[in-house]
Amino acid sequence: MKSLSKILEKWEPVIGLEVHAQLSTDTKMFCGCRNMYGDPPNTHTCPVCLGLPGALPVANEKAIEYTLKLGLALGCKISLKSHFARKNYFYPDLPKGYQISQYNEPLCLGGSVTIRQNGELKEIPLIRIHLEEDAGKSIHSADEKGTKIDFNRCGVPLVEIVSAPEIRSPKEAREYLIRLKQILQYLGICNCHMEQGNLRCDANISLRRKGEKPFGIRTEMKNMNSFRGVERALFFEINRQAGLLESGKEVVQETRLWNESEQKAEVMRGKEDAPDYRYFPEPDLVPMVITEKQLASIRSDLVELPHEKEDRMLSDYGIRLNDAIILASDVHLVDYFEQIVELGVDPQEAVKWMLGVMLRVLKDEIYIIESFPIKPNRLATLLKAVGNGIVNINTAKSVFQKMLTSDKTATQIIKEEGLMQVSDSEKLRTIIEGILLHHPDEVSRYRDGKKGLFGFFMGQIMRKTRGQSTPKIVKEILTEILDGNKT
Ligand code: ADP
Ligand code: MG
Ligand code: ZN
């Protein structure tokens, strides 16, 4: 394989992504069946989603609202009149023989997703966002004959977000996907569990000679199951297409399946064109009419987008961009942060704690922030105790560990276990004098000039006070006793 940088000297990648996101509504798109992942197969089905004769679909209002929410958040033009269309194709997981989708007049047109590349904001324009229904799931197992089909997923509301071919590198593609996922999470309209198939991406890519305008012939890749997978699949395809083009051959427009274990994309089928699907307006559903009033109400409770949140964290709390990016990457994490700051914790201390202690605990002990046992008010009390010098940071870490498995407040644990820092200087002085009396030899060697023994005394004192003494005060008293004339 040629090195990528060598290829990129001559060829420019042109990438467009089609992302399918399942909407987290309670029920399916056109029937009252529950929209639920992980239940026993075929337990959420009815005549509508099984495509039985005579069954009639009714559109899910919530799904339409969610789509509009996304469209408005991304600055799309909303079609006030919109309709569903039948997309006809035969596949075992599609019992009706067609998918209800949108063709002309999708709900949302245009708009963009803002990404950050090397610190700079860049807008990736969108072509459209439309609403459709998911298909069922075919289950092929190696040791059993045949294919089993689970129709629980059949009819789950799905939005398709189609980017313009304006993405210029695999890294940019990954960044776009990360942002889009964050946005869906911020808006609370998709669960975004890739392993459950909530979020799926097809990647279209072509190469053009650097400096040229017209696009080359593209291929489409499917079946990537992570954002890294998309990035790797794009690298693979850049290499393959460059190889063809440089040896004077043509790229064939086709759909390829990414094989993660072999790290290559294999031909799946030639690319269908729209006429193959014989689209026509869905006769069983009335056209959708969206009112300005409806849009105004959705617009009024739109939330900040991730990149806006990051910028505001810099200006409101003075924290570093990199830290803001980590916090804002998860809407629940950044909510948690803002809650403890609201409760009076210093933002810098909150960042230090959340990035330094909390993220590790979340990861090592496999908690998710939404159900984290220490709620913001409990952590705020603990961090304020650190700020007020009641406990030091190390004690706070052990209190934090205890709070994970107990309902007690930080204050209770600190009191019950006597963990307050010993900063009462008379009490400290007595302890220090006791220790020095136990080490007469070291004291005289210190006074004879072995100043390195200072650390030894500090260590003894910290151990005796179980790390709860304030080092600065200990140092002061110790210096005074050792270097002064007292014995
Ligand atoms: P289709 O209807 O076949 O799915 P679209 O025109 O809707 O085709 O485009 C699908 C995706 O392919 C979009 O994300 C678009 O940006 C991308 N795309 C279109 N042409 C090219 C190209 N020449 N190179 C790379 N991506 C492309
Ligand atoms: Mg398409
Ligand atoms: Zn149903």
Whole-model pTM over 0.95: no
Residue 485 binned pLDDT confidence (cut-offs 50, 70, 90): low
Domain stops at, among 270, 295, 320: 295
Q: Which atom of ligand 1 is nearest to the CA of 274?
A: 2
Determine the distance separating the centroid of ligand 2 and the alpha carbon of 18, expressed in angstroms: 7
Query: For residue 293, what are the CA distances in angstroms to 37, 66, 83, 105, 300?
Result: 34, 16, 19, 20, 11
Domain stops at, among 277, 295, 313: 295
Asked if 143 and 247 sit in the same domain, the reply is yes
Q: Measuring CA to CA, which residue among 186, 253, 176, 262 is closest to residue 223?
A: 262
User: Does ligand 1 lie within 6 Å of residue 205's CB atom?
Assistant: yes
User: Does ligand 1 lie within 6 Å of residue 218's CB atom?
Assistant: yes
**CATH number reported for the structural domain that contains residue 478 in this entry:** 1.10.10
Asked if 188 and 49 sit in the same domain, the reply is yes
User: Does ligand 1 lie within 6 Å of residue 255's CB atom?
Assistant: no
Asked if 123 and 249 sit in the same domain, the reply is yes
User: Does ligand 1 lie within 6 Å of residue 164's CB atom?
Assistant: yes
Asked if 331 and 453 sit in the same domain, the reply is no
Asked if 68 and 160 sit in the same domain, the reply is yes
Determine the distance separating the centroid of ligand 2 and the alpha carbon of 162, expressed in angstroms: 7
Asked if 429 and 392 sit in the same domain, the reply is no
Asked if 59 and 159 sit in the same domain, the reply is yes
Asked if 42 and 159 sit in the same domain, the reply is yes
Residue ranges in 216-302 assigned as alpha helix (H): 227-246, 292-300
Cα 299 to chain centroid, rounded: 23
Reduce the DSSP state of residue 148 to 3 states and report it. Answer: strand
Asked if 20 and 68 sit in the same domain, the reply is yes
Asked if 131 and 173 sit in the same domain, the reply is yes
Determine the distance separating the centroid of ligand 1 and the alpha carbon of 18, expressed in angstroms: 8
Return d(Cα 183, Cα 177) in angstroms, integer. 10
Nearest CA, atom 14, ligand 1? 16
Q: Is 363 exposed, middle or buried (0-12, 13-18, 19+ CB in 10 A)?
A: exposed
Return d(Cα 203, Cα 272) in angstroms, integer. 15
Asked if 169 contacts 176 with a C-beta cutoff of 8 angstroms, the reply is: no
What mean pLDDT is predicted for residues 131-159? 92
Q: What is the pLDDT of residues 260-277, one digit of tens each?
A: 888 888 888 776 676 789
Ligand nearest to the CA of 221: 1
Asked if 410 and 450 sit in the same domain, the reply is no
The total number of structural domains in the chain stands at 3
User: Does ligand 1 lie within 6 Å of residue 21's CB atom?
Assistant: no
Give the range of the structural domain holding residue 412, as residue numbers without chain letter: 304-416
Nearest CA, atom 13, ligand 1? 16
Provide the mean pLDDT of the chain. Answer: 92
Domain stops at, among 251, 278, 295: 295
Q: What is the pLDDT of residues 191-233, one digit of tens each?
A: 999 989 999 999 999 999 999 999 999 999 998 989 999 999 9
pLDDT at 306: 95
Residue 17 binned pLDDT confidence (cut-offs 50, 70, 90): very high
Asked if 118 and 262 sit in the same domain, the reply is yes
Nearest CA, atom 25, ligand 1? 205
